[in-house]
């Protein structure tokens, strides 16, 4: 059984599953490159809770937590099975790391989960367990959460943090059809700083990115889309990461992806 890496991927706009852009092409090939896991633990920016919640549904529903898009997007289903036994194990691991956790049957797979997974593993045959983030808890909390998940990788479980490397929707240039607008300097400078910190293993800088990174708060006015990165970092063992992909959509959404461990 192969040990799996931990991944951070940027899921971008929900239309990523339909758009002909480099980030979609990357996600469509990366599953084949890393191999087929025994199960997937996905930590999405869109599954928020004040404590760690773990979806133990046997058949997680596909959640279309989006509005204003073409009808074709709402027809997409990702009917992957769940894994209640793995979910309960995750609850125990997270509690063992000193974090409050509980099983949940009221969620499923939001677009932060089904958008990248439907490209990475389109057959939907791999069990998927969703784990929540807490937007108020900060990077260190999420690194601890990731570290609790790290032992699962030895059994071929793929841990995926799904967010966005930059995410300021208020500054997307209008009209939205300009998906290939280049990134402005303030997006590029943050992304390259963060990439350098990841590749060099500068965890203290990353944990304090809101103060230390150029334009940190402007790129992440709220933290929920960057926090899955810290889950992947912790699940990968806390060392340096490797950049797998970088591109931009809608000028302000950097679509970078990283592997840890």
At residue 83, the pLDDT reads 98
List alpha helices for 159-226, DSSP H: 185-199, 203-207, 209-212, 216-219
At residue 180, the pLDDT reads 86
pLDDT tens sequence across 3-46:
999 999 999 999 999 999 999 999 999 999 999 999 999 999 99
Structure token pair of residue 252: 């302000």
CA 74 to chain centre: 21
Calpha distance 182→180 (Å, rounded):
6
Secondary structure (DSSP) of 121-161: STT--S-EEEEEE-TTTHHHHHHHHHHHHGGGGGGTEEEEE
pLDDT tens sequence across 99-144:
999 999 989 999 999 999 999 999 999 999 999 999 999 999 999 9
Calpha distance 122→60 (Å, rounded):
16
Pick from 257, 217, 197, 201: nearest CA to 25: 257
pLDDT tens sequence across 154-212:
999 999 999 999 999 999 887 656 788 899 999 999 999 999 999 999 999 999 999 99
First vs last C-alpha separation in the chain: 16
Calpha distance 26→236 (Å, rounded):
21
Q: Domains in the chain and their CATH numbers? A: 6-260 (3.40.830.10)
At residue 239, the pLDDT reads 93
Calpha distance 82→79 (Å, rounded):
9
Name the percent of the chain lying above pLDDT 70.
Answer: 98
Q: What are phi and psi of 46, to 5 degrees?
A: -100, 5
Query: Are 41 and 80 spatial neighbours (Cβ–Cβ below 8 Å)?
Result: no
Query: Are 227 and 233 spatial neighbours (Cβ–Cβ below 8 Å)?
Result: no
């Amino acid at each position: 059984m192969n040990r799996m890496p931990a991944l951070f991927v940027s899921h971008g706009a929900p239309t990523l599953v339909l758009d002909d852009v480099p980030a979609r092409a990357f996600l469509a090939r990366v599953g084949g490159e890393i191999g087929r896991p025994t199960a997937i633990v996905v930590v999405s920016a869109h599954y928020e809770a004040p404590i760690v919640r773990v979806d133990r549904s046997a058949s997680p529903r596909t959640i279309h937590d989006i509005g204003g898009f073409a009808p074709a997007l709402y027809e997409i289903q990702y009917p992957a099975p769940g894994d209640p036994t793995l979910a309960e194990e995750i609850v125990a691991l997270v509690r063992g790391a000193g974090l409050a956790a509980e099983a949940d049957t009221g969620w499923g797979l939001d677009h932060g989960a089904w958008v990248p997974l439907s490209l990475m593993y389109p057959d939907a045959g791999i069990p998927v367990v969703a784990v929540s983030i807490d937007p108020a808890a900060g990077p260190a909390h999420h690194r601890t959460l990731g570290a609790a998940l790290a032992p699962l990788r030895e059994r071929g479980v793929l841990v995926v943090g799904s967010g966005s490397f930059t995410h300021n929707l208020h500054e997307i240039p209008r009209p939205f059809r300009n998906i290939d607008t280049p990134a402005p300097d303030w997006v590029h400078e943050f992304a390259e700083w963060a990439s350098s910190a990841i590749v060099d293993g500068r965890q203290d800088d990353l944990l304090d990115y809101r103060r230390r990174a150029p334009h940190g708060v402007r790129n992440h006015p709220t933290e929920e889309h960057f926090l899955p990165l810290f889950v992947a970092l912790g699940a990968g063992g806390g060392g340096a990461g490797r950049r797998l992909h970088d591109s931009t959509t809608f000028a302000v959404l950097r679509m970078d992806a990283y592997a840890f461990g």
